[in-house]
Amino acid sequence: MLRCGGDRVVIVGGGIAGALLAKTLQNHADVVLIDPKEYFEIPWANLRAKMEQAAVERTVIPHSEYLTHGKVVTASAVGVDDSVVLTSVGRAVGYDFLVVATGRMCDRPQKRADRLQMFQRDKERIASAESVLIVGGGLIGVELAAEIVMGSPEKRVTIVNGGPRLLKVMGSKASAKALEWLRSKNVTVLLDQTIDLNAGVSPDDKVFTTSAGETINADCHFVCTGPPLASGWLKQSFLGDHVDEDGRLAVDEHLRVGRLRNVFAIGDITNVPEAKQGYLAQRQAMVVSRNLRLLVKAGDGGREHKLHRYKASKTPITVTLGRRDALSEMPFMTVIGHLPGAVKPRDLFISRTRRMMGLKWKA
């Protein structure tokens, strides 16, 4: 077990939320980040990175580049009690404060070099394909289809979506606009159909049959059904009662779990009633960062009444559609095209995210 002092903050999960929290807290507490990967990556630049190698290097960032005063344990958390996190490498990490930031299950390689190679392979698969099948018509599937057809309009892209409409996290107007936009770019969209992924689909498969019996020929395919939440490791623990039936951790207005004095959760794993978006995960990280600074400074003297509150956000969801266009759902309006596209920077907030992490520009 690692040494456990009064200011030990253990952050489980080095995604958008956990990494930013670790970075902002490292000079104020004894920070330990537990993550199975040696890097964090900017997920919303993922799809661009499949098309454009230049984006990759800037979006896959070693934890060591921004976490110069904290420790990293490269492992998955597999269990937790009220003072120790157990990891997949058999190491127990003691904590005074715990932050759960495990977001969604992640099967990325441990090494950055292997992750970069994955992007390169995806890029080559897409470049050499005349036809691409995308399984899943949520945010990821729609954005990937748009990246491909806007970069290479000659490719035949098919989306197979299990439900009756695309983008089910958004309203029906947004779904209809996305469908119309994709069809105008010659993307074939099959709704209410599935591809049986348990039937041994391999990366080399080129012929697929949908649940409705349609045959799709595709040189390559991508599964964009979205991984499940990574809360399995909590279910048998003392935090298990706070995991809801969707796998989310219930938090209070200070982002504390079950009103426990020293356990917080941030990012996609929480049950905060708002869209699960990276910039909101970052906002939550900043609130918990401030709260932990207060608590660490106060020691046992308490400063509970000064804790900052997190307010769920109603800000719009924007779906990137290639380099120029976007689809934006606002409270009273849903718009698609160049206008919402102009609001989102061309580099997909990569520079802004790197700046937040204190990282220098990298061409």
If you ran DSSP here, which 8-state letter would residue 229 be given?
Answer: B
For ligand FAD, the binding residues (CB under 6 A) are 12-18, 34-37, 43-44, 46-47, 76-77, 101-104, 106, 139-140, 143, 230, 233, 267-269, 276-279, 281, 320
Rank residues 113 and 212 by Cβ distance to ligand FAD and give the closer one.
Answer: 113
How large is the angle between the packed helices 172-184 and 139-151, nearest 10 degrees? 20
Task: List the one residue out of 261, 258, 356, 250 whose CA is nearest residue 301.
Answer: 261
Furthest CA-CA distance within the chain:
67
Of 85 and 190, the one with the shorter C-beta distance to ligand FAD is 85
Minimum gap (Å) between residue 17 Cβ and ligand FAD: 3
For 273-278, which contacts have Cβ atoms below 8 Å and span 24 or more sequence positions? 273/312, 274/312, 274/313, 274/314, 275/169, 275/313, 275/315, 275/317, 276/169, 277/315, 277/317, 278/16, 278/42, 278/43, 278/44
Query: Dihedral of CA 264/268/269/273: which sign?
Result: positive
Minimum CB distance to ligand FAD, residue 40 (Å): 6
Least distance from ligand FAD to the Cβ atom of residue 22, Å: 11
Q: Which is nearer to ligand FAD, 276 or 354 (CB)?
A: 276
Q: Is residue 283 a contact partner of residue 310, using CB atoms and an 8 Å limit? A: yes
DSSP string, 49-83: HHH-HHHHHHHEEEHHHH-SSSEEEES-EEEE-SS
Short-list 264, 265, 261, CA closest to 299: 261
Q: How far is the CB of 270 from ligand FAD (least distance, A)?
A: 8
Task: Kindly give, in sequence order, each residue whose CB lies less than 8 Å from that of residue 211, ignoring residues fewer than 6 positions away.
Answer: 193, 194, 195, 196
* Distance in Å, CB of 228 to ligand FAD, minimum: 11
**Least Å distance between CB 285 and ligand FAD?**
8
Best CA proximity match to 277, nearest among 331, 232, 337, 317: 317
The CB-of-213 to ligand FAD minimum distance in angstroms stands at 30
Distance CA 207, CA 305 (A): 61
H-helix segments, the chain: 16-25, 46-51, 53-59, 63-66, 112-128, 139-151, 172-184, 278-298, 338-343, 350-356
Q: Name the residue nearer to ligand FAD (CB basis): 76 or 193.
A: 76
Q: How far is the CB of 77 from ligand FAD (least distance, A)?
A: 4
Give the Cβ contact number of residue 359 at 10 Å: 15
Nearer to ligand FAD, 255 or 307 (CB): 255
What does DSSP say about strands 325-329 and 334-337: parallel, antiparallel, or unpaired?
antiparallel
Cβ closest to ligand FAD, residue 190 vs residue 230:
230
Residue with CB nearest ligand FAD? 15
Q: CB of residue 273 vs ligand FAD: minimum separation in angstroms?
A: 15
By beta-carbon proximity to ligand FAD, the closer residue of 37 and 242 is: 37
Minimum Å gap between C-beta 339 and ligand FAD is 17
